[in-house]
Every structure is written in C-alpha cells, then in structure tokens.
Structure 1
Amino acid sequence: MTKLSQPLTFKRGLTIKNRVVMAPMTTCMSFFDGVVTKDERDYYALRSGEVGAVITAAANVQENGKTWEGQLGVYDDRFIPGLSQLAGAIKRNDTKAILQLFHGGRMTNSSVLRGEQPVSASAIPAERPGAETPRALTTEEVKTLIDSYKQAALRAIKAGFDGVEIHGANTYIIQQFFSPHSNKRNDEWGGGLEKRFKFINDLVDAVTEAVDNSGVSNFIIGYRFSPEEFETPGIRLADTLFLIDQLADKPLDYLHISINDYKRMSISSEYQDKTIIQYIFDQIKGRVPFIGVGDIRTKQQAEELLNSADLVALGRALLIDPHWTQKVFDGRDDLIRTEISEYDREELLIGNGTWAFMKNLMPDRLIKK
C-alpha cells in the first residue's frame, strides 16, 4: 500500500478512504437560477466512488456573488433539495462530498448580475480587459457577507454534505479583502497585512463556530487559497506564509492551495530555494492537513507531491479519465486516458461550459484534434 491509498482522518472525525481528491472545477451545468441539474449530478457521479472526496464547483453564498452562468447557488433554503441530490450522487462507495462556498466579488459583471453593479472590498476594478468598477461594501454589508457564508455552511449540513470548503482563492472576494491591490479600505477591514486578514479571520471563525454549534458530527471545513498575485501591489508569497501561519492554528480541517503546477516557483526573488508548495508545507508544520494540486497526471507525480502534501487534488486528470484512481491503485497506469477530443465529450458527460473551460486551460497536448 502506498501513501496515496491510505485513509486520513480529519480533526472533526471524518475519515476519507484514500488521499485522492477531485479538485473543484467550473462546470456551468446548473440552471440559470443556480439549481442543480441532472447533467450536473451525473457528471459528478461518474467521477465519484473511487476518489476519497469530491469538492464541488463554486456555490454562491449571495445572489450577487454569481460570476458565470450555470453556477450553483447555496444562498437560499430553496437550493437544499437539489444540493441534497448532488451530495447523494457524489457519496458513492464512501466517497465524501464537499461543497465549495463562494462569492465572486469584482470578478463578475453587471450582465451576469442582471444589471446590478458588482461589489468588492474597495471600488477598484480588476486588471483585466473590460473589468467593471465594483461598489465597495459597507461595514454592515461585510458583516452580512460573513453571515451568508455561515448560513451556506448550515445549508450544506442540511443537504447531507460531508464538509464545506471556503473558497479564498483565484482572486474572488475573500482574496480581494486580503490583497493590497483590491483592498484600500480605511475601516476595520483594511490597512496593513494584519488588518486585511481580519475579514478572513472573522469569516473562518463564523463558519467554524456555526458548524461546531450545529450538533453535526464528522463534518469538515477546509480553506482554499492562491499563493501569489501578479498585480502590483499584490499578494506575494511572504503574505501567504503569514496567512497560512494564522489559518493553521484555526479550527480548520485542511488547507488547499490553488496552483496550476505543483513544481511552480515563486515570483519573489527571496523564495527560490524550494517550490511554492514546499514553502507552504514547511510553514504548516503538520498543524493541519494540506491538499496539494497542480497538473498531476501520473502515479509517480502524485507520490512525489505527497512528500510535500497530505492529499492530492486532481482536476484535468479526472476530467479526461474518471477512473484514474482505480487504475493507479490496480497498478494499471498504462490504461489511463491521457488526452481527450470533442468526440469523447458525450461518454465523459462534459457539457459546453466545462468543455470551454478545458480548452482554455489545458495544454494543446491534452486536446486531440
């Protein structure tokens, strides 16, 4: 037995059967109003049963958090029945279901929001073509947003999920509060590094307290983060090491990096001795399980990553081959599908939104003509 196939038990008592996790990936499969579809349930069911856990695509905690069409919603009780069906589709053969909690902040637009102006920590647009200037949230709106994450976690419990992941990565609203590029507030939620951490600190406290006071057992809470930003000023690895040091002492069950290459080096000149993931792993010092990710395609790469992580998240590998995990455990790496074409989409239950996402993000070598 390799470490990849070993179980892991989190602080709150949940045990997953192996160290392979399906990474959260955009699907664009929900109805226009955020309700789960049958296609969405089938897509996840096909990739469940072998991995230890599945982390869903981002689910909005507020209606104005929507960032693309076909996105999941969790901001109202009316979503609970559909989310319950989704959790049931994932929980095959003891695979655990984790709902990712999300708000897009300034990374959306008024078209997606049906005429409403996007919101953020401050009224600063993102550095991307066509970005709209968001409206800065008021102090009371910030408190309401934190409560929305808390209520979303409680809905995930009611829907039968095994945990939630707080999406603090990929330039969305939580990261916008932490970034010196997007947060220019002069109240309690802005300022220096520690003050910009306050939103994350209060949000994590609210969610963990709500879960722990709910009476649920074996329900975990994770946090996903991006290690660096390319904007100036922006988040640098030194900032993230501070963030990780704080979060590792929180009552979280895991930390999960968002990065496209597990061997990626920092853009900061002072952090060139190790990969970003190795710096993060060393900063955690075993205080909380760490999920690594980043274009893992082979058993060898997964096992290499486990030298600097406790679990391995797979994205593109499971899109191309939903049975990657069992083939690796059976020692049949030679049977793993390594590329995909337009003609494979029906078999793999990949919809138009996911296919567009794959074509934009996958190297040409993975997409057959």
Structure 2
Amino acid sequence: MPQYDFLQTYTLKNGATLKNRVAMAPMTTKSSYYNGALTNDEIRYYSMRSGGVGMLITGAFSVHPLGKGFEGGPAVWNDAYLCQLQRLANVIKINDTKAIIQLFHAGRKSTTAILRGEQPVSASAVAAEWPPNSEEPRALSENEIDEIIQDFAKATRRAIQAGFDGVEIHGANTYLIQQFFSPHSNRRTDSWGGRRRERMRFAKEILKAVKTVISEYAKTDFILGYRLSPEELETPGIRLEDSLDFVEEIQNDIDYLHLSIGSYNRTSLNNKNDTVPLVSHFKKVLNPSVPLITVGTIKSPADAQAAMALGADFIALGRSLINEPKWVQKVETNSEKSIRYQLNPVDMDDLAIPAGMQDYLLTTYKDAIDFTTNTVKQEFGQQMAPMEGYKKQ
C-alpha cells in the first residue's frame, strides 16, 4: 500500500477509530421522494461509493418539514423513515466505513413553492442577497426556535436507532444555523441575536441537545461533527475572525470540524492581505484532539497530500467520488493511473448517479463538474463555489 498520510488510521477523542483519513463529502442528490423518503437510486449511489473511504457523510437531511431546502431532499423528521435510514446505514457501513448522516434546516434558503405554500423561516425577516429576488422569510418565534433545537435532537436519536456511526450538524452553506450566526440574517434583539456571542447561541444549544441524546442513547464512540463556512461576502456578514472565535467556543463539544470551501488552499475572501490558507488558520485555533476536515478541488493523491500539509487531518472528496467511486481503493492498490478524473455524461447511469442528481449536475452545476463535454473548465480557487450558497464573483 502506498505511504500516503491520508491512508493512515485515526482515532477520535471519543474512541472511534477510522481506517483512513478520507471522507466522502456531503452532496445533494435531489433524488428522494416528494415526502423526503429515500429512493432505491440513492441507496445504490451511496453503496457504490462506500467501502473505501474512512467515513461517508450523507447529503443534508431535513430535521423539520419547514427545513426542506430543495426538491428531492431527504428527511429525518419522522420515525416513519427509520426503516429506510437503517437500509442506508447498512449499505454505507461495508468494509468498516463509518456512516455519518448530515442534519440541517434550510431556513430562508427555501421557497414557498418548495414548502408547499408555507413561508420560509429564519432568524429574522431578512431576505438572502442570493439568489436574486429571494423571498423574505418569517422570523421564528422563541418557541419555534426551541422546537427546532429539539428537532435536531430527535433526528440524532433516529440516526442512532438506524445504526449510523455519527451525525454532522450542518452549520454551513448559508442554511439556518449559519443564518443565526450571521449579522446579515440575524437582526434579532432578544437573547438569540445581537452581539457575536448571542448569535452563537442557536448552534451551541443544538450541540448541547444533540450531545444529551448521544449520551442517553448511543455508544461512547458515536461521532458528532460540525460543518462550517468560514466567511460570508455580504455586508454585514460573517468574517474569518468571527468563525475562528466560534470554533474556539464549540470545539469541546464536537469530535471533528469540517470546513465547507470550494478549494482546499483558499485564503480569506474578505481580507486580501491575508495570504495564510484558511485550513492553517483553523488548525491553529483548534485543540489537537479535534481533527480538521478540508475539502475542495482535491482530485489527485498529490492534492490530498498538499491539503494535509496545510494542516488538515482529513480530506473530503466530493466531485472526485462522483467521477470515481473507487478512488480510495485504486490508490490503495497502486492503480492511480486508472482513476477517472473526468465524467462522461453517458457513464452516469453506470456510476449509479440518480436521475435527479444527473439533471442538476448537467444544468445548475455543469461548470463545476469536470465533464468530458465541457468547453470551459471551472476552477474555484479564490472564490466561492456554487454549492456554498453564493453567487459567482
């Protein structure tokens, strides 16, 4: 086996041991049923990409009906989904891959049409700047905030019952948890808004509630991760120093931190004088017992090594596992030359990419995928990627 750092084992502070330091990044499939139930196509898609990575993080599952952010999104807000969730966990956990389910609430990043007539909700009644003409959400009441916190806890309990090895709380990509932390979307004057510390409260209360459920229902090595977007482009908005402070506040409550960035070597988008990669910034403030996962344009083993050299403990593969489900296995068997670095649209069925996912890959995210048919190659570098919830710069 090649001597790559990312192929080494890693034991988290809770005792869970991962067979390597490669994760499958959470990606939207848009292929669930109208009510959030999983389809066989999704089960097959995840099954093909498991077995090699140390952990597989699913796409985002809604914890509440008003948290649905897109058509075809999966749900975990009802016990009726337990059977399908168990099927999903089982197909992921082959060959010692850890099954991690990502939990989220879209907040204002939804529409009345997606919510079947219900108005989107958020921290405050402030519309998103992107996409253009986003709907103004309804500000959540304090009782509703408490209920959503418990929705995350209940979803965690279902994940444990279904046999998952952990949950990842989605605090990134401009969804509801980030909306509470952002001074752009959170203009509240009660205890859930105001200064930076108050804007952290929603995320911290979710982590507290989730940890309580884990201690009651799960084994001690059940994994709790958190995903974070380091910066926002809006003014006012989240800046790097806000996120670094936030991470210092939550690090004792999580087993890993997962950055959401379009390129692993990105530097600050707001402070052009700061040439230190974001990964290095976060590694500096994190306790050594909390590993850092980075993602973004990691295509080759050399890219993965470079990302780890910046300070990452794990690397996450997203688009690379769409193209090449057996990326890890090919590296392990000295078959790197056979890794598929481009995706031919005619191969998508053979690669178990669900029809709903094929549609948005070929349309909304066409420039972000290395299709053999693309005439323009999109590299994110020092800009936001479309999956991060922002306009192109």
Instruction: Give me the TM-score of the superposition, normalised by structure 2.
Output: 0.91
CA–CA distance in 2 between the matches of 1:358 and 1:9? 35
Q: What secondary structure does 1:35 align onto?
A: coil
Could you say if the C-alpha distance between residues 259 and 38 of structure 1 is closer, same or farther in structure 2, counting changes exceeding 3 Å?
same
Counterpart of 1:304 in structure 2 is 306
| Cα distance between partner residues in 2 of 1:40 and 1:166 | 21
Q: CA RMSD in A?
A: 1.4
Structure 1 residues 351, 144: closer, same or farther in 2, change over 3 A? same
Deviates more, 1:95-104 or 1:202-211: 202-211
Which residue matches 1:195? 198
- Distance (whole Å) between structure 2 residues aligned to residue 365 and residue 61 of structure 1: 29
What CA distance in whole angstroms lies between the structure 2 residues aligned with 1:340 and 1:102? Answer: 29
Identify the match of residue 356 of structure 2 among 317, 336, 353. Answer: 353
Matched ranges for 1:29-40 at <5 A: 29-40=31-42
In 1, the alpha carbon distance for the partners of 2:369 and 2:218 equals 49
TM-score, scaled relative to structure 1: 0.97
Matching of residue 28 in structure 1 with residue 27 in structure 2 = no
Structure 1 residues 59, 328: closer, same or farther in 2, change over 3 A? same
Amino acid at match of 1:361: Y
Query: Which residue does 2:17 correspond to in 1?
Result: 15
Contact 1:48 1:54 in 2 (8 A): yes
Does the 8 A contact of 2:107 with 2:122 survive in 1? yes
Instruction: Name the CA shift for 1:104/1:306 in 2 (closer, same or farther; >3 Å).
Output: same
1:70 matched to which residue of 2? 72
Q: 1:20 is matched by which residue type in structure 2?
A: V
Q: Separation in 2 of the partners of 1:149 and 1:368?
A: 40
CA distance in 2, matches of 1:107, 1:158: 29
Identity percentage of aligned residues: 45
2:213 equivalent to 1:213: no
Q: Distance in 1 between matches of 2:245 and 2:359?
A: 36
- Alpha-carbon separation, structure 2, partners of 1:353 and 1:144: 31
Pick from 159, 172, 186 the counterpart of residue 183 of structure 1. Answer: 186
The one of 254, 260, 271 aligned to 1:258: 260
SS where residue 60 of structure 2 aligns? strand
**Letter of the aligned partner of 2:317 in structure 1?**
L
List per-residue Cα deviations over 1:119-163 (Å, max 9, x = no partner): 000000111223111000001110111010001000000000000
- Give, as a single letter, the amino acid of the residue that structure 1 aligns with 2:372: K
Deviates more, 1:211-220 or 1:51-60: 211-220
Paired residue for 1:281? Answer: 283
Pairing partner for 2:322 from 319, 324, 345: 319
For residues 5-49 of structure 1, the C-alpha deviation after alignment (integer angstroms, 9 at most, x for no partner) is: 111111222211101100000001111111111111000000001
Partners of 1:365 and 1:95 in 2: how far apart?
26
User: In structure 2, do the counterparts of structure 1 residues 78 and 13 end up closer, same or farther at CA, with 3 Å as the change threshold?
Assistant: same
Does the CA contact (< 8 Å) of 1:48 and 1:95 recur in 2?
Answer: yes
CA change 1:182–1:15 in 2 (3 A) is same
8 Å contact from structure 2 (residues 361, 369) kept in 1: no
Report Cα offsets for 1:298-337 as digits up to 9, x if no partner: 0011011112111110000000000111111222221110
Is residue 236 of structure 1 aligned with residue 224 of structure 2? no
Q: How many residues in Structure 1 have an aligned counterpart in Structure 2? A: 368
Q: Which amino acid is the alignment partner of residue 368 of structure 1?
A: T
Contact 2:108 2:135 in 1 (8 A): yes
Q: Please point out which of 139, 144, 157 is paired with 2:142.
A: 139
User: Are residues 167 and 338 of structure 1, via their aligned partners in 2, closer, same or farther at CA, if it must alter by over 3 Å?
Assistant: same
2:332 paired with 1:329: yes
Please tell me whether residue 60 in structure 1 is matched to residue 62 in structure 2: yes
Paired AA for residue 327 in structure 1: K
The offset of 1:217, in angstroms, is 3.5
SS at match of 1:312: strand
Q: Which residue of 2 aligns with 1:366?
A: 370
Distance across 2 between alignment mates of 1:99 and 1:271: 37
Shift of 1:285: 4.0
Of residues 227-236 and 206-215 in structure 1, the stretch that sits farther from structure 2 once superposed is 206-215
Which amino acid letter does the alignment assign opposite residue 366 of structure 1? D
Gaps of 5+ in 1: none
TM superposition shift of 1:270: 7.0
